[in-house]
Structure 1
Amino acid sequence: MYDISGVNMSGTSLGKPRPLWQVIFLSVVTGMLYYGWYKWIIQEELRRYNGFGWSGTLCLAPFVFGVVIPQALRIFDPDVPGWFGWVSLLGVVWIYIVQFKLYQTVNELYRQAGMKPPLIVWWLFVPGLNLIVGLRQIHFLSKFWSEKQGVIVTDPLAENIPLLSGNA
């Protein structure tokens, strides 16, 4: 049983189901600001649920400092040295590390629940497939939270594209 806050009787905090269509829609209309929020909040939810893990801040701050700030400086200040752009590479590498860890965590949630892990983690490193595994992560994490809470969350976008929702 769960109370209205998504906490079960044993005190385990559950995450909020966020269907893929909703994450994509809100990310587009906010110029990707929602996606940043999404990445932050799911890390926080997973950390609370598991009792360990990386915080949303730890996952996003290196990306922001490594990618967003150096690129903004290069655009708005022509005196910033060219080598400073290499800092962005570190931010991109960090995001790959965070995504790798996230995909493993989602797979582990499924394993612990006695279900087949839905994500092929190595797809992260293949252009094109990295987008697919990212979309699958959004769908399957939402599905996991909805099943844990015993609620039905429909995701017509993912459910109509077998590559995104299939876990045979």
Structure 2
Amino acid sequence: MHRQGRIRRWTVLTWALASSLLNCQVFSPRHSQVNFVTARRWYHEQQAGLLDRDHFRGLSNIAARSTRRATMRAAQPTPDSFDPPPPRQGDYTDMFCRGTNAFFGQLVIPQIRELVKLQPAGTAGSNLLDKLTAAPETPGISRPLWVVMAGSIPTALIWYGYYKFSVEEELFQAELRKEGRVTGCGGYGTLFPFVFAILLGLMAQLLGFEDVGAFLIAVGSVWILLGQINLYRRVNEIVQDHPSISEGEPVLWEWWGLLPPPLDVIVGVRQVHFLAKVSAAEREEAWEKDVVAEELFPFISTRRFTLKELVRSPRLWFWFCKDVEDFDVPFLRD
């Protein structure tokens, strides 16, 4: 009996020490102190005969489970632990994209880089403000169209720039992890060449160098446009890997990005919608219906359609046109 009592006492005290040391690494000193206090209370209660054997075993099991969970959290890989393979010899696309992202990333002040540093999935909360202010995650955060509109419209599209940075960085990291190579320039390499070109162009114009300023602005505009078309291409590839979302077919016409408004906007909002659905699927999150994309404006969430089909099919336009029959015009037939 005395031997069993000593074993129980040493079990509690050993757990207290191990759990506290572990929690000093994983959690905060306050958690460590709580574990010591709890263990001491159990020890004194057991000494006084206040804990029967079954109760003691139950508490010991709880302690063991708590320690195992803490150990698993401590061992869970983080984005920083990923060591990407080097570019393959002769893969100039991968070399260019990685180099561009790394170069422009170094031009951003460290405090900003730390704020938007890649995080593991689930770091941000699920409410609207959390999603609007979240750093990029892996797998990427699902941002439905209504969320993007809620951030973009009140800020005159300023927040959309952050959305662009985030999804480009998330896709860059996802591609690097899955394929070992990238075909996009990431958040830094896509957004900041555009930002710097526009700022330098405006500065040049203010200083009287009109031609230089116009050239820099044109270069920045072409860069962001090509990046957007490349984004559509990559979203098509990703969506085709999820037959439940796209029936294994592309959902975007990449070249629509070259068309004038509102046609370029149509392909843009479709990209937002389908990328959000794919992100939810890859994070194993339940998809919550997006009323804007799936009810109010059917053209956003339907299968891919042609320009002729869009013009002749009012049911694709707005929710109040869903019962309107297609126009039977010969030159609008596919």
Fold shared per TM-score above 0.5: yes
Cross-structure match for 1:82: 210
* Secondary structure, aligned partner of 1:31: coil
Note the residue ranges of structure 1 that are not aligned, 5 or more in a row: 8-12
Structure 1's 69 and 24: CA in aligned 2 closer, same or farther, altered over 3 A? farther
In the TM superposition, residue 147 of structure 1 has moved relative to its aligned partner by 2.1
1: distance between equivalents of 2:302 and 2:253? 12
Letter in 2 for 1:152: W
In the alignment, structure 1 residue 64 sits paired with structure 2 residue 195 = yes
TM-score under structure 1 length normalisation: 0.84
Range with bigger deviation, 115-124 or 62-71 = 62-71
2: distance between equivalents of 1:131 and 1:142? 17
Cross-structure match for 1:100: 229
In the TM superposition, residue 163 of structure 1 has moved relative to its aligned partner by 0.9
1: distance between equivalents of 2:242 and 2:273? 17
| Equivalent runs, 1:21-36 vs 2, <5 Å | 21-36=146-161
Structure 1's 154 and 55: CA in aligned 2 closer, same or farther, altered over 3 A? same
In the TM superposition, residue 31 of structure 1 has moved relative to its aligned partner by 2.8
In the alignment, structure 1 residue 143 sits paired with structure 2 residue 277 = yes
In the alignment, structure 1 residue 43 sits paired with structure 2 residue 168 = yes
2: distance between equivalents of 1:129 and 1:91? 21
2: distance between equivalents of 1:55 and 1:122? 21
Cross-structure match for 1:165: 301
In the TM superposition, residue 130 of structure 1 has moved relative to its aligned partner by 0.9
1: distance between equivalents of 2:277 and 2:257? 20
In the TM superposition, residue 146 of structure 1 has moved relative to its aligned partner by 1.2
Over residues 116-157 of structure 1, what are the superposed CA-to-partner deviations in whole Å (9 max), with x where a residue is unaligned?
221111111111211110111111100111122232233111
Report sequence identity in percent.
Answer: 33
* Secondary structure, aligned partner of 1:119: coil
Which has the higher relative contact order, 1 or 2, with Cα contacts under 8 A spaced 6 or more apart? 1
Q: CA RMSD in A?
A: 2.1
Cross-structure match for 2:253: 120
**Number of positions where the alignment pairs a residue of Structure 1 with one of Structure 2:** 158
Cross-structure match for 2:240: 111
Over residues 19-49 of structure 1, what are the superposed CA-to-partner deviations in whole Å (9 max), with x where a residue is unaligned?
1111122112223221111000101111121
Note the residue ranges of structure 2 that are not aligned, 5 or more in a row: 1-75, 77-119, 123-137, 177-181, 305-334
**Of the two, which has the highest radius of gyration?**
2
